[in-house]
Homo-oligomer: A and B are copies of this chain.
Amino acid sequence: MQALPGFRDFLPEDCARRNYVFARWREVARRYGLVEWEGPPLEATELYKKKSGVEIVEQLFNFTDKGEREVALRPELTPTLARVVAAHEREFKKPLKWFSIGQFFRYEKQQRGRLREHFQLNCDIIGEKDLAADIELVALCVDILRAFGFTEKDFVVRISDREFWTDFFRDRKVPAERWDDLLQAIDKSAREPREKTAEKLGDLADPVFATLKSGGKSAKLEQLAEGLRTRGLADFVAIDVGIVRGLAYYTGIVFEAFDRAGKFRAIAGGGRYDNLVSQLSDGTLSMPALGFAMGDVVLGELINEIPRPREAMQKSIANDSKIDVYVVIAKEQRRPDALAQIQQLRDRGYRIDYPLTPTKVARQFQTAEDLGARVVLLYGDEWPQVKIKNMESGEQELISRDDLLTSVESIVR
């Protein structure tokens, strides 16, 4: 038996890498004053059908539950956030600055290496319409990637504005009901043959291609870039109106982070969705909002690709996986004495391991090394003295059992 297609088992090493990513995500989000929340992994299918757009809905991992409810394993967090905010916003000061780390799902035709689940960080600011919130959020996205050791040579956040295009359409008297399809066509233009995009754009093909080529500009995008320049982050961002984002609910600034080499799909993406809370609360509550998501899969590939982030991860994981103390039981008669002291050390928070059953001393020392123990304590003929060995310096001495805690502390803390 094996895992279902598209689902991962996280063996200890995989789990350590996952936790490393989670820890960086959490740490930097909190530097920005964001607080953590979480929604359920299963939601009513309707929550996504309403607003997420055709790509999400086509790949929904949905089913009918035993109570005849139409439900879906969540493909994304934003609709849950809008639902929760609509229900609870009165309990919080505005703006809300929230982040969340969780697992998300999709069901699509099985392809090699395409997963049906991944983990995602979501960061959102709710209740602030000012561009200052957009700047803060893009800066957070940049700083999260920097925290992994990526530099401006490794990635760029491409910033854009859906209003640039809706203004563009309005100027050309394009009926509003065509806008969504046109935005989708522009979103796909970099990944599709020019002819296909041209067909979708119709009479707008020439001016759109010309704009994409020359590079669009707007006062708002300039102001966004200036805000990032003030923070010293100018080298990490670029205005690119070719970015539109696939999700249907975006209304203003949108952005995506890419590796500079162009080898991978987007590392992160997000934008403003000022109407979603209103739409999900049937218009009873209006709240500007914006956010972005960063997945663990592309990020993980990029960390493995670039030496500095990869080595930072390896070093962090190696350090974090070490135990503090390995207890060598050289004489089985001393096992109860050793166990009593193991308990005392664990009570003080130390990470301790020892052989559960009688084992040759040399093999115990080998295990101590394999586990990265900083201290070895040996219980044998010397009792009631204990041999203590500093595994880094190699120094060892005999100590009284009563001095054990102090001696261990002097090496480990």
A contacts, CB < 8 Å to B:
1-5, 7-12, 14-16, 18-19, 27, 30-33, 35-44, 46-47, 61, 63-67, 69, 71, 73, 80, 83-84, 86-88, 91, 93, 95, 98, 103, 107, 110, 117, 125, 128, 130, 132-133, 136, 139, 143, 146, 227, 230-233, 280, 321, 323, 336, 339-340, 342-343, 346-347, 349-353, 356-357, 367, 370-371
Contact = CB atoms under 8 A, between A and B. Distances in A.
A174 to B, nearest CB: 33
Contacts of A10: 37-39
B18 A232 contact: no
Contacts of A321: 35
One complex includes copies of this chain to the number of: 2
A90 to B, nearest CB: 12
Contact of A357 (B93, B117, B130, B280): B130
Contact of A353 (B4, B33, B128, B352): B33
Contact of A232 (B37, B117, B340): B340
A69 B10 CA distance: 22
B339 A230 contact: yes
A87 B1 CA distance: 8
A47 B327 CA distance: 38
A33 B227 CA distance: 47
Contacts of A130: 356-357
Contacts of A136: 356
A14 B44 CA distance: 22
Contacts of A352: 31-33
A12 B31 contact: no
A63 B65 CA distance: 7
A78 to B, nearest CB: 14
Contacts of A73: 42
Contacts of A232: 340, 343
B40 A3 contact: yes
B33 A371 contact: yes
Contacts of A107: 65-67
